Amino acid sequence: MAGGLTGPDAGTATVDGNDLAAMSPAARTAYRRAHIGFVFQQGNLIPALTAIDQLRLIHHLNRRRSGAPDAAALLAAVGMAGRAHRRPHQLSGGERQRVGIAQALAGGPSLLLADEPTAALDRARSREVVELLARETRRAGMATVMVTHDTDVLQHCDRVVEMVDGTLSG
């Protein structure tokens, strides 16, 4: 709901003072494009585009807002500089996930929503990616909400909320 992809069954979904449920579909899309970055559990890449072009497309759609990280620098930060000109089918699952993370950061979002961002990564790369997310969160002054089963990443979180049997605690 925070990303405006679905609405509440009842009540409101307010993000940064904006009631997403009250917005038209076009307004929600514009809001998502301007303010929300998504890291999906399974990469959401366009098959025909290279890794760097995935990020350049985000810059183009958002008219590269000031403060948005450079595409090449983002790929380097996620360890993908040497694979910048590869298409998704030429990348491993973990590499596609790292491009997806870079893609989510490319628009310079104020809110990053990450669904299991380290699920397809080995321990060392998971640590690097979580450190990157923490660093970018601080640098950009954005909020990051991450769903994870990986307890190793919790040390990088300012606040941890646990869901047990459908109830939030923490």
Q: What average pLDDT does the segment 21-35 reach?
A: 86
Task: Grade residue 88 by pLDDT with cuts at 50, 70 and 90.
Answer: very high
Spatial distance between the Cα atoms of 139 and 126, rounded to a whole number of angstroms = 20
Q: What is the pTM of this model?
A: 0.82
What CATH class has 38-169?
A: alpha beta
- What SS3 class is residue 8? coil
Closest CA to 39 of 146, 122, 163: 146
| Helix orientation angle between 93-106 and 51-61, rounded to the nearest 10 degrees | 20
| pLDDT (0 to 100) of residue 118 | 85
